[in-house]
A and B are shown apart, each in its own frame.
Chain A
Amino acid sequence: MQVIDVTSVSKKYKVYKNPGPVSLKNGIQEIFNNKTNQEFWAINDVSFSLNSGDKLGIVGNNGAGKSTLLKILSRITKPTSGSISVSGKVASLLEVGTGFHPELTGRENIFLNGAILGMKKHEIIAQFDEIVDFAGEQIIRFLDTPVKRYSSGMYVRLGFAIAAHLNPEILIIDEVLAVGDADFQKKSLGKMKEVASREKTILFVSHNLTAVANLCNKTLHLEKGKVKDFGDTGQILTSYMAALQKNIFEHYFETPEQAPGNDLIRLKYAKLTPVLQENQSYWDIRHPFKIEFEFWNLGNTQNLNVSLHVFASTGECIFNVGSDQLTCQFGLIRGTLAVPGHYLNDGNYVVSFMVVKDKSIILYNFEEIFNFEIADFREDTTWYGKWPGYVRPSFSFPLEQITETL
């Protein structure tokens, strides 16, 4: 049975030419001047439909219109054109703890937030103990304390606990999984999965592709407000990941004059190649990669080695490897580095390398030569939170049963 039908929905926003407050003066001027403001289509001609029980993951870059689409679907804002028909009770969770009032106690906020999310009072009363239980021991002790005294973790746990006990036919969720500590994330994702297994329609926006892959049977890929792709999750995510990642990383300079460097060293060529598995179009944590480079030695005979750094996108250095030292003549030098798979964790990384003379004098530092992203990969998991750490080794780590008695 079709429960959601979206037909060529578009949403236009005005981009005001003279930035500054929208004031009465400007509003009146607007009426008299026919000065057209620039328009911006946050959502442009989006159509799709969902059947009862479908779980839809919505993916796309920042600014692709995911949040706008959710707001339209949850009736918070009207589309500029197009039509939507939704049959069934809808609850939207665009934020954890919407409408929590800092001065009110945890108990009062449960009723307030529940009512805001569309629960009836008797439903809240019936599930009150469950909600408090789910939120955790700490909340139970501070149930009659104003939530402004809560830690941010407690606040989020209480908010999620209420949301998790909503019982609508259609649930619209925006990134609420990215909350709380790892423990609570695990619990809430478990709850999500439990909710998802029921005959309920879910629309779910997330950057966490592992969660989308595991929770959703359909995926909508938005790009610049338009539907790029819509269909079965497996297929859409594969093409999405492939489009997301640049898998060719190459710099090539014809002559030393154009190349980066200085009078002593110029870069000729640098290439980073992930070694993907067969039938795989994107780079994940299992794949090894190779970095090759060539540079011109413009100085005389000198002892050179290369020191290569890999940084996390947050700036910490993950590792630094030094090449062997070579006595280089004037001319072209080549180097190759192979990094095994199951080594870097998922995330964004930056590569820099420097050419060093006599193991101590930096001749030139080629900064941020490559900027790449590695996707996550998990099998047989029920946990979709961010895997911690910068490295993700797969050391042999067996468990064995020793006896079957105490």
Chain B
Amino acid sequence: MGIIQRFNTQFKEILHDSELLFILAKRDISVRYKQTYLGVSWAIVRPVLTMLVFLFAFKNVAKIQDLSGYPIQLVIFSGILFWNLFATTFQSVSNSIISNGNLISKVYFPRLIICLSSMAVSLVDFFVGLIVYIILVFALGHTLSLHIIYLPIALVLTIVTSLGLGILFASFSVKYRDLLQIIPLIVQYGFFVTPIVYTSQNLIGSKWYIYYSILNPLAGLVEFFRYSLLVEYHLFDLNMLFISAASTMFIFLISLFVFHRREDSFVDHL
């Protein structure tokens, strides 16, 4: 009972300090592109360039034929959109406690606010990317799917996953800085073991697919994401989504628990 009560008071504290949450988010956003010429356009450049590189690699170098039948540009771009949201949120949340160490060691406020506010930049980048995606869809002569109404759900699930993993890493990396070295590796390898620049077409038949999707909840998520963005996308499987959502929620709850256990000791290791 005690733990639920404590979560409840913490939740109330966060609500009470929501102004701080927003101003910290605003700080991160306004600082992000200060002193750059392109400003927020960098949020466009990154996914577009990544897509072009993979298009080049697949079409001209590896000569890979994607058999899923969907426009390859959209498959890649939607994947990258998803992956960037996940990866940048995960990374900035993981680093948030250490990079805001000066605040944590000088003022008290619910520490979770730091983790929550550090997602802001990734969200802004995501929405900019989404606009680019929509433009790309029409430029290539396609249309949007009605399934786009599921996009908010996909978005929330993605955020919960990356937030959960991020909080978990943030909780431990304050003391064990080794973890900071692992984060870029997860992002780098995860990109390839998740159907980001390919689809799960070739994976679905395998016997180990179920284990794969439990271990990598992002796989089910990215296909759900595509389902909401691409017309008649059939590689989405509701069962896989449930598996993903379950393991995601599991990670998230564990991360809240761990964070709560460790947050009092943060300041001793900063």
Contacts and interface: CB of A to CB of B under 8 A. Distances in A.
Nearest to A71: B267
Given A112-B23, A115-B19, A74 B31 contact: no
Contact of A74 (B24, B102, B108, B269): B108
B258 to A, nearest CB: 15
Contacts of B27: 101, 104, 108, 112
Contacts of B269: 22
A27 B104 contact: no
Contacts of B31: 101, 103-104
B46 interface: no
B6 interface: no
A319 interface: no
A98 B35 contact: no
A77 B265 CA distance: 7
Q: Is the interface of A mostly helix, strand, loop or mixed?
A: loop
B267 A108 contact: no
Given A94-B106, A103-B35, A116 B177 contact: no
Contacts of A146: 34
B101 to A, nearest CB: 11
Interface string B232-243: 000000000000
Contact of B177 (A23, A77, A94, A99): A23
Given A23-B176, A104-B27, A121-B19, A77 B107 contact: no
A367 interface: no
Contacts of B178: 23-25
A115 B176 contact: no
Interface in A231-263: none
Interface string A17-61: 000011111010000000000000000000000000000000000
B148 interface: no
A99 B267 contact: no
Contacts of B175: 22, 27
A103 B19 contact: no
A27 B176 CA distance: 8
Contacts of A74: 107-108
A76 B106 contact: yes
B268 A99 contact: no
Interface string A159-184: 00000000000000000000000000
B179 interface: yes
A211 to B, nearest CB: 21
- Chain A CB within 10 Å, residue with most, of B108, B109, B269: B108
Contacts of A27: 175-176
Interface string B155-197: 0000000000000000000011111000000000000000000
B144 interface: no
Given A22-B175, A112-B27, A120-B19, A92 B107 contact: yes
Interface string A274-299: 00000000000000000000000000
Contact of A95 (B20, B104, B106, B176): B106
Given A104-B30, A115-B23, A98 B176 contact: no
B51 to A, nearest CB: 30
B268 A117 contact: no
Interface in A102-129: 103-104, 108, 111-112, 115-118, 120-121
A90 B109 CA distance: 11
Contacts of B19: 115, 120-121
Contacts of A101: 27, 31
Contacts of A95: 106
Interface string A352-388: 0000000000000000000000000000000000000
- Chain A CB within 10 Å, residue with most, of B27, B102, B104: B27
B159 to A, nearest CB: 23
B264 A77 contact: yes
Contacts of A98: 102-103, 106-107
- Chain B CB within 10 Å, residue with most, of A21, A115, A117: A115
A132 to B, nearest CB: 18
B41 interface: no
A150 to B, nearest CB: 16
B143 interface: no
A24 B176 contact: yes
B168 to A, nearest CB: 14
A345 B62 CA distance: 82
A76 B268 contact: no
A13 interface: yes
A103 B106 contact: no
A103 B34 contact: yes
Interface string B50-92: 0000000000000000000000000000000000000000000
A102 to B, nearest CB: 9
Given A101-B27, A115-B19, A75 B103 contact: no
Contacts of B264: 77-78
30 contacts: A22-B175, A23-B178, A24-B179, A27-B175, A71-B105, A74-B107, A75-B108, A76-B104, A76-B106, A76-B107, A77-B267, A77-B268, A78-B264, A90-B108, A92-B107, A98-B102, A98-B103, A98-B107, A101-B31, A103-B30, A104-B31, A112-B23, A112-B24, A116-B103, A117-B107, A118-B109, A120-B19, A121-B19, A121-B23, A146-B34
Given A78-B264, A108-B27, A116-B103, 14 more contacts: A22-B177, A22-B269, A23-B178, A24-B179, A71-B105, A74-B107, A76-B267, A92-B108, A94-B106, A95-B106, A98-B102, A98-B103, A99-B106, A117-B107
Closest 6 CB pairs of A and B: A75-B108, A24-B178, A78-B264, A24-B176, A115-B23, A98-B106
